[in-house]
């Protein structure tokens, strides 16, 4: 997990790639998802969608540890040079997809087993698109959804809506180690 000071990340930045929707660093909620999946291996993980991927570390972990085919989704195409650099450092590859959450279709989600997303509901304007993405994912047959956040009010609003509609669990989670992070996980099993 390179930081912004890693030489490869600095090279990408010097090349003029500047993400505009907060895809400028490793978000700690990714570590919450990785830890959760490590301790609770998913039954179905052949194909993973890393929603709002940014640098894509969660998807890369899934590619490496779960041997998953990973689709890395982000609305900001400027994150993908960072994603490619991090993927190269980790010896994995993912398939980039430039779309907003609300643009995903049932067809896009039809082959997905596991949908993950860290720090993806940080604005009021994202509550509805994230909720709709989850609705579509469950309707398309996605087996498990794991969304992590440091417990912003917007995340809790979205999680409450989704749990009231579909069920699921809101779990407090923390990791301590090379990265320290706390937050909540929205976990929905649809298998």
Local confidence band at 99 (pLDDT 50, 70, 90 cut-offs): very high
For the chain, domains (ranges, CATH) are 7-189 (3.40.50.150)
**Percentage of the chain lying above the pLDDT 90 cut:** 74
Q: How far is CA 53 from CA 3, 86, 163, 165, in A?
A: 16, 12, 23, 25
Long-range contacts of 155-160 (CB under 8 A, 24+ apart): 155/121, 155/122, 155/184, 155/186, 156/184, 157/127, 158/121, 158/126, 158/127, 158/130, 158/131, 158/186, 159/184, 159/186
Higher-scoring residue by pLDDT: 144, 7: 144
Local confidence band at 141 (pLDDT 50, 70, 90 cut-offs): very high
Per-residue pLDDT tens digits for 47-81 = 999 999 988 999 999 999 999 999 999 999 988 99
Per-residue pLDDT tens digits for 143-174 = 999 999 999 999 999 999 999 999 999 999 99
Local confidence band at 8 (pLDDT 50, 70, 90 cut-offs): confident
- State if pTM tops 0.85: yes
Per-residue pLDDT tens digits for 11-55 = 767 676 666 555 555 778 999 999 999 999 999 999 999 999 988
């Amino acid at each position: 997990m390179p930081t912004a000071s890693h030489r490869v990340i600095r090279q990408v930045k010097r090349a003029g790639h500047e993400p505009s929707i907060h895809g400028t660093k490793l978000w700690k909620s990714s570590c919450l998802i990785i830890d959760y999946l490590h301790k609770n291996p998913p039954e179905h993980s052949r194909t993973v969608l890393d929603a709002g991927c940014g640098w894509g570390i969660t998807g890369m972990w899934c590619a490496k540890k779960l041997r998953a085919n990973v689709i890395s989704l982000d609305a900001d195409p400027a994150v993908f040079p960072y994603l490619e650099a991090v993927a190269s450092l980790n010896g994995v590859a993912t398939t980039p997809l430039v779309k907003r959450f609300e643009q995903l279709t049932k067809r896009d989600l039809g082959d997905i087993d596991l949908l993950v997303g860290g720090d993806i509901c940080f604005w009021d304007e994202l509550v509805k698109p994230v909720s709709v993405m989850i609705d579509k994912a469950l309707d398309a047959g996605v087996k498990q959804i794991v969304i992590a956040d440091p417990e912003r009010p917007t995340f809790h609003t979205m999680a409450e809506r989704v749990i009231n509609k579909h069920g699921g669990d809101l779990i407090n989670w923390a990791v301590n180690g090379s990265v320290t992070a706390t937050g909540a996980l929205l976990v929905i099993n649809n298998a």
